[in-house]
Amino acid sequence: MSPVVNGRVLFNEIPSDFPVPGKTVVYDTSQVIDLDTVNVDRGILIKTLYLSIDPYMRVRMREPDVKSYLPAFELGECLTGFGVGKVLRSENPKFEVGDYVYGFLEDILSEHKYYSVQDGAGLVVIDNKYELPLSVYLGVLGMPGQTAYTAWKEYSNAKKGETVFVSTGGGPVGSLVIQLAKRQGLRVIGSAGSDEKVEFMKDIGADVCFNYKTTCTRDVLLKEGGIDIYWDNVGGETLNCALEAAKLRGRIIVCGMITGYNEGYNTLISNLVQIHVKSLTVNGFVIIHFEGKYDEEFYRVMTPLVASGEIKYREEVTVGLDKVGDVVLAVQKGENRAKAIVQVAID
């Protein structure tokens, strides 16, 4: 077989606020690869099928000397992220040709390119006994699902009858939190940024749902009598409202602060004193710091529930590696309609 173009998505420029498609990241076709002859060097050759586009990726689009929980993307190099691929060739006994693999926690799978050669370290072979769509391993059964499950388990201290407020309740993390909370008998208030996402929150059982763009978060939380738990994916003024509405000894799980990723952390959180006054507990959470603590349980418990439809999820699949820049921006703006997936190739 003759060489084929190996399209890539390169990190091209550090954005000053929102990432700009075609500028922050660019689609590049300058590389070719010969799939039959490329040296896999005791590793594997993978064909990328799906890539996950997640909010945290914006955190990596920064100056390399600024520290964070993941290294900065390198200018001129491929984006990386979670992904699902298929093994085309293998010189690593852990993998067989035809295996489907995905990247797992801090071992990031995929360069954002059609084909990649890797040593295979950190890749997991998908045991797809329920024959689920492979993209679920990037959402409800991937990092977002593990994030929701692990932090809820570790930090919610949830009790039946309590009230939880979930921001970004239409997203892959928030929507699983809503369902976990409902299964435990909590009352759920969910917020999202589109009416479509509000509908989805209703479908999965949230008791009170609202579009934060058209309804005042503070009013809803106070009207509903306060909250025992707040699941924070956004930070900023929403966090400030939640601090005000938190009940005595309430819990806040800070799983993301997307309002600050693009425009800086310039919101004055005037209610921070409520942490003291109400003896609140606030736990920050990044899944990579928890070393797979609940992974075995997560897959054992959640996979059948996803397969049976008892746990619901939604995805928005965009076709084409050249669309990554657009999807990255949509996720930062909250304009994606559901868990954002880029389909790179057909199996």
Given the complex with its own copies, which of 67 and 129 has the nearer CB atom?
67
| 336 to 55, 103, 170, 284, 318: CA distances (angstroms) | 11, 23, 10, 25, 10
Given the complex with its own copies, which of 160 and 276 has the nearer CB atom?
276
Query: Do 92 and 146 meet the contact criterion of CB atoms below 8 Å apart?
Result: no
* 150 conformational bin, left if phi > 0, alpha if psi -120 to 50, beta if neither: alpha
**If binding is defined by CB under 8 A, does position 5 make contact with its own copies?**
no
**If binding is defined by CB under 8 A, does position 222 make contact with its own copies?**
no
| Residue of the chain from 57, 257, 306, 329 that contacts its own copies (CB under 8 A) | 257
166-183: b (≥16 Cβ within 10 Å) or e: bbbbbbbbbbbbbbbbbe
| Residue of the chain from 23, 42, 159, 289 that contacts its own copies (CB under 8 A) | 289
The answer for residues whose C-beta is within 8 angstroms of residue 313's C-beta and 6 or more apart is 136, 139, 140, 172, 175, 176, 306, 338, 339
With contacts defined by CB under 8 A, name the span among 36-44, 283-291, 304-312, 327-335 that binds its own copies. Answer: 283-291
- Number of residues this chain uses to bind its own copies (CB under 8 A): 36
Give the three-class secondary structure for 179: helix
Identify the residue whose tokens are 């006054």.
277
**If binding is defined by CB under 8 A, does position 226 make contact with its own copies?**
no
**If binding is defined by CB under 8 A, does position 285 make contact with its own copies?**
yes
Cα gap 309→304, rounded to integer Å: 8
Given the complex with its own copies, which of 205 and 284 has the nearer CB atom?
284
With contacts defined by CB under 8 A, name the span among 77-85, 211-219, 256-264, 299-307 that binds its own copies. Answer: 256-264
With contacts defined by CB under 8 A, name the span among 12-20, 213-221, 286-294, 308-316 that binds its own copies. Answer: 286-294
Given the complex with its own copies, which of 26 and 272 has the nearer CB atom?
272
With CA atoms as reference, report the closest residue to 99 among 116, 89, 87: 87
Given the complex with its own copies, which of 166 and 254 has the nearer CB atom?
254
**If binding is defined by CB under 8 A, does position 234 make contact with its own copies?**
no
Identify the residue whose tokens are 């299964």.
183
| Residue of the chain from 83, 256, 325, 334 that contacts its own copies (CB under 8 A) | 256
Tokens of 320: 């084409």
**If binding is defined by CB under 8 A, does position 274 make contact with its own copies?**
yes
**If binding is defined by CB under 8 A, does position 72 make contact with its own copies?**
no
Given the complex with its own copies, which of 49 and 254 has the nearer CB atom?
254
The answer for residues whose C-beta is within 8 angstroms of residue 315's C-beta and 6 or more apart is 135, 136, 139, 338, 339, 340, 341
**If binding is defined by CB under 8 A, does position 62 make contact with its own copies?**
no
Binding mask 78-117 for its own copies (x = CB under 8 A): ----------------------------------------
Give the three-class secondary structure for 135: helix
Residues at the contact surface with its own copies, assessed by CB under 8 A = 59, 68-69, 235, 239, 248-249, 254-257, 260, 264-266, 268-286, 289-290
